[in-house]
Amino acid sequence: MGLVINLANKGGKMTSKDLSIFNSLRPFSIGFDDMFDQFENMLGNGSLTMQSNYPPYNIRKTGKDKYSIEVALAGFSKKDVEVEFEDNLLTVRTKQVNKSDNQNENGEIIHKGISQRQFARSFTIADDVKVNGAELKDGLLTIACERIVPDYKKKKLIEIK
């Protein structure tokens, strides 16, 4: 057979969405449109968008339905960082860092080797995952997440009559 591309109602223009592998899966799934759209946004023009490797992070499974995101933030304090969760996007970013401030409570900084550059790191969080909180301890920001499985998604045995 062959490849069929639907160009109807697009003025004859082919978009990257028409060629997406995720689009080819849509006819075989129900209710996953949001997930496919999120993949489309991540892939952009067909390749994953490059994000900076700063700050480094781990994603750890801490229980059956519990996860933690660990972000290495040496040199940052709670007042320097903010964690925001909106529309399934968890973002860790710096607040405005005052680069001209070479004084701290321990004295003047002669050499600054610990980076405090501006950053924003984002994570896409599933609809059924709840962000429970964040803690910054010993230079490691830990964000606790938990997957909440609704009753209708839990495994159940169907009685045969």
Q: What is the share, in percent, of the chain residues with pLDDT greater than 90? A: 33
Q: Share the mean pLDDT of the chain.
A: 75
Going from the N-terminus, what domains does the chain have, and what CATH number goes with each? Answer: 11-50 (no CATH), 57-97+114-151 (2.60.40.790)
- Compute φ and ψ for 70, nearest 5 degrees: -110, 125
Q: Are 69 and 59 in contact (CB under 8 A)?
A: yes
Q: Which of the four pLDDT bands, split at 50, 70 and 90, describes residue 86?
A: very high
- H or E stretch covering 21: helix 21-25
Q: Which of the four pLDDT bands, split at 50, 70 and 90, describes residue 8?
A: very low
- What residues contact residue 57 under an 8 Å CB cut-off, 6+ apart? 69, 70, 71, 72, 121
User: How far is 106 from 126, CA to CA, in rounded Å?
Assistant: 43
Of 38, 67, 58, 62, nearest in space to 129 by CA: 67
E strand segments, 105-148: 107-108, 120-124, 129-137, 140-147
